[in-house]
Amino acid sequence: MNNSTPSNSTPNSTALPYWLSLMVLLAACYMGWKWYQVSQFEANRSTGGIEMAGPPLEEFELQERSGKMFRSADMQGKIWVTTFFFSTCPGPCARLNERIKYMHNQEELKDVTWVSITVDPKTDTLEVLRTYADKFSADPERWFFCRGDLKYIKRVGKEIMKLPVTWQGHNESAVVIDRTGKVRGMYDMTSISQSKKLELLLKKCLAETTSPENQPETKPAELGVAAEQAAT
């Protein structure tokens, strides 16, 4: 006669602790990710609204949506603004580019060039960039959409533009570069007040008559032309 008593445990009761632990882990991961997004957003906002007079930019090269190479050295004598985005971003990037579109269409700012650099080059192929640019009616002569190797783009952001750039990272800052190749300011494009300051700075730069030939030459970049590899 078997005197052993049946176990009170069931498959459901033994699985419960596992699922509870998994839910706690997922919740912790989600909270950690949200904290990271908020901290990154605040870090990016802290760089905005600053007018400055930095040294000449180092040169860099990326591939434009047309398939041609965008060379920062070719921007000498022009006023331009650089931002970072990715096409599948439904929120901050869309607001960023809507704000650029607004300024891009202003007659007073028609001599300003806009350079938008994707932080998701694997997704944002040349075809994707062309389609995305068309959504904002971007003039191909005054608003460039560029891509390249992600590591190279991160270095352009960190070492040249002095902005934290990550894969699919939300960065609403716009970097203003004057005719001499110097950074003149950084502004949060999703902030109405900072966008107005950016607009004022652009008009100020447009009114300046200092010749680029009288300024120090742009320091060559030591980044290599990794952007060429992105074309393949």
pTM of the model: 0.70
| pLDDT at residue 123 in the model | 97
| pLDDT at residue 22 in the model | 76
Closest by Cα among 179, 165, 176 to 202: 176
| pLDDT at residue 169 in the model | 76
Closest by Cα among 167, 164, 120 to 145: 120
Q: Tell me the residue type at 116.
A: S
**pLDDT values of the chain reduced to their tens digit, one per residue, 232 residues:** 555 555 555 555 566 777 777 777 777 765 654 444 444 444 444 444 666 555 667 899 999 999 999 999 999 999 999 999 999 998 899 999 999 999 999 999 999 999 999 999 999 999 999 999 999 999 999 999 999 999 999 999 998 998 889 898 777 899 999 999 999 999 998 899 999 999 999 999 999 975 444 544 444 343 433 444 444 4
Q: How far apart are CA 81 and CA 205, in angstroms?
A: 12
Q: How far apart are CA 174 and CA 37, in angstroms?
A: 19
* Contact of 96 with 116, CB cutoff 8 Å: no
Closest by Cα among 97, 104, 103, 79 to 175: 79
Q: Tell me the residue type at 134.
A: D
